[in-house]
Structure 1
Amino acid sequence: MTTTAERVARPGAGAPDLSRRALSARRRITNNVAMGGIVLALVIAVIPLGLVIYSVIAKGGGVMSLEFLTDDISISVRRSGGGMGPAIIGTLIITGMAALMAIPLGVLGAIYLNEYGKQRPLARLIRMLADIMTGVPSIVMGLFIYTIWVLTFEERSGFAGALALACLMLPVVIRSTEEMLRLVPDELRQASLALGARKWRTTVTVVLPAAISGITSGSLLAIARAAGETAPILFVVGAVNETNWNLFSGENTALTAQIFSNASQPFDVAQDRAWGAALTLIVIVLVFTIIARIIANRFAIKER
């Protein structure tokens, strides 16, 4: 057995141990530097977001009341009073109709691309078109619907706005859903097929529940984008001061249109209404996000 004196006397006996210690120290330093960079990046990203939320709450909270949420829109932008009731209803029904059109179609399209089409020419063409549509400005979609719908039927309506928003939502839903379906392990599909389930049943009962959380997140991202669009609404929906529940007849309005209309005025009362409408829109998106998360967690596959 080698004694302590012999190990000390032997040249270079402690070099490997010192080398391991130095390597471990470098790794700790590198890890700390990387962690510090990640935290700094997070702080830099959160600061502007926090400032925006604080500004909206501070400036919009002062006008929030039951009357503001339910009353008709004021005809005069110079006078105080009036509410955002018609704009809130318009936002809900227009965005809701757009979601009813875009989300099922987008999910079905993503299922075809990932489960059936894969790398076939048609699937590659659809992916390319979806990527192109993702980058198309919203004003182009508004002009497109204005040309093929408003000019054809010679009437602005909430349904025309829903069509424009659905066109904006569709590529986001397709691409985000396809990416979520790709993350589902193939072992789950193979196990279901090995038990005798057909491909469509495997997709419905295994693949979709496994990816439901990601699909919900992508759909919420699309809804949030649609709810915050202004240009298509201004082009094809029109403007009203009273609530219009009919999507297919008569002009309508939305919170984004009222934000633009009031914020562009030099009067303080109009700008206060714009901040109040912005806060209302944020709260609506937050509420629906929470509801969608609850539904997604309810139907997602639980790990045991």
Structure 2
Amino acid sequence: MSTAAVKSPMNPVYRRRLWTHRIGIAMSIGAMSIGVIVLLWILATLLINGLAALTPALFTETTPAPGSEGGGLMNAIVGSLLMVGLSTLVSTPIGILAGIYLAEYGEENKVAAVTRFVTDIMLSAPSIVIGLFVYALYVANVNHFSGYAGSLALTLIAVPVVVRTTDNMLRLVPNSLLEAAFALGAPRWKVATLVRLRAVKAGVVTGVLLAVARVTGETAPLLFTALSNQFFNADMNKPMANLPYVIYQFAMSPYDNWRDLAWAGALLVTFSVLALNILSRTVFSQKIPN
């Protein structure tokens, strides 16, 4: 049977497949539209309720006492920056080195297979479980909450993201590039770091930024580790305010100014995460060399 006869509108099989295709495309577009509409709805709600509270006082004043007017989120912003920054400094080298190990030796020994399995489990573990683990391991032994405990919990969440991203990106480097480096007499550690890692450095940076975006809005682990602090505190060995916890606390309060600050904090966290995701997918996007 000729191609023209198969694609003829009179052919019942062709008509059935055409309508199935059209229905599938319509359902896909509908599902995508629902997701986009919900996302725009969330962003619009945040903008409407949060922009009104974005004042200079938000970044210069600490969280207000119950029933008082004014106030800001300076202590929570600084606390979040300190904990997320320390978590990034610790998780980045650990995650990258572990990813290099998995990519280089992942097919040669059982330790790498176990490491990859544990990493996958940690990726899917609820963050509240990690918070409880840090509470039992650290907070309960030192008998006080602290910014260090919060950073430790965030580090345990960020490390698996960096490990898997680094491992996956390094595996995309073509073997011809590695063979050329080995042919020139380069040792394996130089091939791994100066050739293989450099070829996918943009993808690795993307993984780090995604890990930062992941931990920025985490609330559950901080409830059991850093808790909060109404006053400004830069000592990470003491309870430390943070945006996710303050948003949770203020959103549930009966005070109007607290709820306004909660909307403003939610707007800051949302657009910070959105900016990190856009940055990771645009500025640091890079194609793998052929």
Q: Assess, with a 3 A threshold, how the Cα gap between structure 1 residues 295 and 16 changes in structure 2: closer, same or farther.
A: closer
Question: Counterpart in 1 of 2:243?
Answer: 255
Corresponding residue number in structure 1 for 2:270: 282
Q: Answer yes or no: is the 8 Å Cα contact 1:233–1:253 preserved in 2.
A: no
The 1:222/1:154 distance shift into structure 2, 3 A limit, reads same
1:8 aligns to what?
Answer: none
Look up the match of 2:139.
Answer: 150
Deviation at 1:289, TM superposition (A): 4.8
**2:262 partner SS:** helix
- TM-superposition CA deviations, 1:73-97 (whole Å, max 9, x none): 1011x33310000100011110111
Aligned-pair CA distance for 1:125: 0.7
Q: Tell me, in whole angstroms, the C-alpha distance in 1 between the residues paired with 2:97 and 2:257.
A: 46
Using the aligned pairs only, state the percent identity. Answer: 35
User: Relative to 1, partners in 2 of residues 1:191 and 1:263: Cα closer, same or farther, differing over 3 Å?
Assistant: same
After superposition, the CA RMSD in angstroms is 2.7
- How far residue 269 of structure 1 moved from its aligned partner, in angstroms, is 2.2
Pick the aligned partner of 1:52 from 38, 42, 59. 42
Alignment partners' CA distance in 2, 1:163 and 1:46? 35
Shift of 1:122: 0.5
Q: Which runs of 5+ in 1 are unaligned?
A: 1-14
Alignment equivalent of 2:118, drawn from 129, 134, 153: 129
Is 1:114 the equivalent of 2:100?
no
Distance 1:250 1:72 in 2: 17
Distance 2:234 2:283 in 1: 27
**Number of residue pairs matched by the alignment:** 285
Q: Which runs of 5+ in 2 are unaligned?
A: none
- Please say if residues 103 and 171 of structure 2, whose CA atoms lie closer than 8 Å, have aligned partners that are also in contact: yes
**1:101 and 2:85 matched:** no
Match of 1:73 among 63, 87, 92: 63
Deviates more, 1:209-218 or 1:143-152: 209-218
- Per the alignment, residue 224 of structure 2 pairs with 235
One-letter amino acid of the structure 2 residue matched with residue 244 of structure 1: N
What is the TM-score normalised by the length of structure 2? Answer: 0.87
Work out whether residues 133 and 171 of structure 1, in 8 Å CA contact, stay in contact via their aligned partners in 2.
yes
Shift of residue 192, structure 1, vs aligned partner: 1.9
For 1:18, the equivalent position in structure 2 comes to: 4
The one of 204, 208, 220 equivalent to 1:215 is 204
